[in-house]
Amino acid sequence: NNHNWFKNVHLLDFLRDYGKLFKVQQMLNKNSVKSRMAPSTNPNSSEGISFTEFSYQLLQAYDFYHLYKEDQCTLQIGGSDQWGNITSGIQLIHRLLDPQSSADETSEISNHFAYGLTLPLITTTDGKKLGKSSSAPGAGIWLD
């Protein structure tokens, strides 16, 4: 449960220590963000991306870093929609453990190995995503 390590992380400390390692332009270039920022044809639409959704990649990145450091977790698996969040975690691991590295998505890193694996999304017959964050009744999937 990531609440066990996030509950002691203070917002200002998190932004100072980890937020500085993320460039907004790189975050905006993630497909998961770009697809949500596309302009709507309806001027009254509430579509778009919230700050919570935008900043989630930092939290997920820290989560992977914590698991890597504390539990030697080297592989994060997720749905294809999580690719940007997973690569953010890999980049954070490299930036913190190989500070001389630029650790962008194309650089080669030695010494610290972290990997991401994505799988196609599982959807309902009407195309809605199945998963733990699904809002559809009975659509949550949990692995024990």
Q: What is the pLDDT of residues 27-50, one digit of tens each?
A: 999 988 888 887 767 666 677 889
Q: What is the pLDDT of residues 53-107, one digit of tens each?
A: 999 999 999 999 999 999 999 999 999 989 999 999 999 999 998 777 655 544 5
Q: Is residue 63 part of a domain?
A: yes
Q: Global pTM?
A: 0.79
Tokens of 93: 């691991």
d(CA 144, CA 138): 17
pLDDT of res. 126: 85
Q: Is residue 61 part of a domain?
A: yes
**In whole angstroms, how large is the CA radius of gyration of the chain?**
16
Tokens of 39: 């302009």
Structurally, the chain folds into a number of domains equal to: 1
Beta-carbon count within 10 A of 32 CB: 19
Quick check: 129 pLDDT over 90? Answer: no
Per the CB < 8 A criterion, the answer to whether 109 and 98 are in contact is yes
Per the CB < 8 A criterion, the answer to whether 78 and 116 are in contact is yes
CATH number of the domain encompassing residue 77: 3.40.50.620
